[in-house]
Amino acid sequence: GNSVTQMEGPVTLSEEAFLTINCTYTATGYPSLFWYVQYPGEGLQLLLKATKADDKGSNKGFEATYRKETTSFHLEKGSVQVSDSAVYFCALSEVIQGAQKLVFGQGTRLTINP
Amino acid sequence: KAGVTQTPRYLIKTRGQQVTLSCSPISGHRSVSWYQQTPGQGLQFLFEYFSETQRNKGNFPGRFSGRQFSNSRSEMNVSTLELGDSALYLCASSFLSVDYGYTFGSGTRLTVV
């Protein structure tokens, strides 16, 4: 079946550091790819998405590019802030004969120190 | 516009009891999905409803069930609760397809004692 593998966490960085969280996927067909973020005590929020190969999703300084050749969707940010501390989930969409769902990676906990 | 609303936010139940969780999607969203989040298993898909029909079901025992009403509001029910059912239950809605992305509610934290 389809699956998503994320970089193991937790990840701890200093403020203004460069961030990369790796995400690779296994899928039949061409799924849409997503990054969701979860702040403490809250549900998941859609951070960015890409629906086809070579698309770049971006939001709030975060970026990720849909790379079909490497089956990857790595999340990057040039300069992180303390407020970016959260758990980040990579996900792909799975649609089979109208039945649909998201398949999530295990999540990466990010802590930014001032 | 209002987001996805889940009630209650917190719930404590005893083993063997049953529980019903509620989800009101964003107005106009016809697809509602439910996920279970635990530290050990991560986010696991429970089921998805569209226009009152269950379109997809995850690999959970029959104790887990759900339904969707004509106004798109959804409920999920867990009968004969077990300690392992303790989790954060998340509801998500989307306009038509998951490819548009979900909007998640804040979740219901269920603790089974």
Report CA Rg, chain A: 14
| pLDDT tens-digit readout, B28-41 | 999 999 999 999 99
| Weakly modelled stretches of chain A, pLDDT under 50 | none
| pLDDT tens-digit readout, B69-90 | 999 999 999 999 999 999 999 9
Interface test with B, best of A23, A44, A46 (most B CBs within 10 A): A44
Higher pLDDT, A81 or B1: A81
* DSSP assignment string, A20-85: EE-EEEE-SS---EEEEEE-TTS-EEEEEEE-STT-EEEETTEEEE-BTTTTB--EEESS--GGG-
Rounded to the nearest angstrom, the minimum Cα separation between B95 and chain A is 13
> B46: nearest CA in chain A?
A101
The secondary structure of residue B39, as a DSSP letter, is: T
> Could A44 and B90 be called an inter-chain contact, meaning their C-beta atoms sit closer than 8 Å?
yes
CB < 8 Å to A106, chain B: 42
- Write down the pLDDT at residue B1: 59
Q: What mean pLDDT value characterizes chain B? A: 94
> B97: nearest CA in chain A?
A100
Residues 29-88 of B with CB under 8 A from A: 31, 33, 42-43, 45, 48, 55-56, 58
Look-up: residue for tokens 């061409």? Answer: A30
CA distance A19 to A73: 14
